[in-house]
Amino acid sequence: MKEKKSMFKGYVLGLLTALLVSVMVVPGFAATVAKTITVYTGITLYYDGVKVEPKDANGKAVEPLLYNGTTYLPVRAVSGLFGEDINWDGKTQSVYIGDMPGKKTYLRDLPFYESSSLSLPDTLTMDGKTYVNCFRLGDASITGNKEYVSWNLDGAYDTLEFDVGHIFANDTAKQVIVYLDGQPAKIIDIAAGDKVKHVKVDLNGALRLKIQVETGSRTGFGNAVLQ
C-alpha cells in the first residue's frame, strides 16, 4: 500500500508540475500570461478507492480538467491528500508545495558559537542522496578525535531534525551526541556500513546546542532544520 501511494504521489506531483508549466510563463519573474483554451470537465477523482471532491481554500468545489489528452488536478486540493502545505508567492509568481523558503531555519545558516572542525560544503552526498543544506564534522586524514560544533539558540526553537551518516562507504563506526545546555539529549550510534539515519530532537527551549562526534570522523549532516 505504501509503495502504491508513493507511486501515485509521484504521478500526481508530475501532473501538478505540468499544470504549473502550462499555465505560467515566468522568464525572470515575468507576469503570468492569459490564454484561452478548451478543456473538458466531468472527471471524477478517486484516492485509494475513495471518491475525492476537490475544494479550494474557501471550501468551494473545483473540478479536474482534461486538456490535450492530459488530466490536470487542482494543486491545493491534491496537496491536501498528502498533508503538504501549499503557498503562493505573488512576488515571484511561484507555487510552493511542501517547504517554502523562509519558513524554516537551517542549522548551517545559523552563526556557530565554536567548533573544532566544522566545514560547510556546497553539497554533500550520503547514501547516494545529495544535500544542499548540509555541514560536515571531521577531517578525512584524522580519526578518533572528538569533533564538535555548537550554537547559541537563545530558547527560540522547539525541535531539531537532521539526517546523519557516513560520507564515504569505508568510514568506520561512529557515535554522535547531541548536547542541550551541556547535557546529552540524544545519542546516535552509526555502525560501519550503516545507512543514513534521520534524527529528531526535542529542544525544549534550550539556550545552547552542541553536536559532537565522539568517535570516528568525516561525519555528514543534511537538512538540519530548526523549528
Percent of the chain with pLDDT over 90: 38
Dihedrals phi, psi of 93, to nearest 5 degrees: 55, 55
Mean pLDDT for 134-153 is: 79
Percent of the chain with pLDDT over 70: 76
Mean pLDDT for 89-116 is: 79
Mean pLDDT of the chain: 80
pLDDT for position 3? 47
Dihedrals phi, psi of 182, to nearest 5 degrees: 85, -5
Span 148-191, pLDDT tens digits? 999 999 999 999 999 999 998 788 889 999 999 999 999 999 99
pLDDT for position 139? 66
Mean pLDDT for 23-45 is: 68
pLDDT for position 156? 92
Q: Following CA atoms 174, 178, 183, 189 in sequence, which dihedral angle do they give, to the nearest 10 degrees?
A: -30
Mean pLDDT for 62-88 is: 78
- Determine the Cα–Cα distance for residues 146 and 94; give it in Å rounded to an integer: 44
pLDDT for position 69? 87
Dihedrals phi, psi of 8, to nearest 5 degrees: -65, -40
Is 134 in a helix, a strand, or coil? strand
DSSP string, 54-121: -B-TTS-B---EEETTEEE--HHHHHHHTT--EEEETTTTEEEES--TTSSEEGGGSPPSEESSEE--
Number of Cβ within 10 Å of residue 212's Cβ equals: 18
- Are 173 and 192 in contact by the 8 Å Cβ rule? The answer is yes
pLDDT > 50? residue 204? yes
- Determine the Cα–Cα distance for residues 3 and 50; give it in Å rounded to an integer: 18
- Are 203 and 140 in contact by the 8 Å Cβ rule? The answer is no
pLDDT > 50? residue 27? no
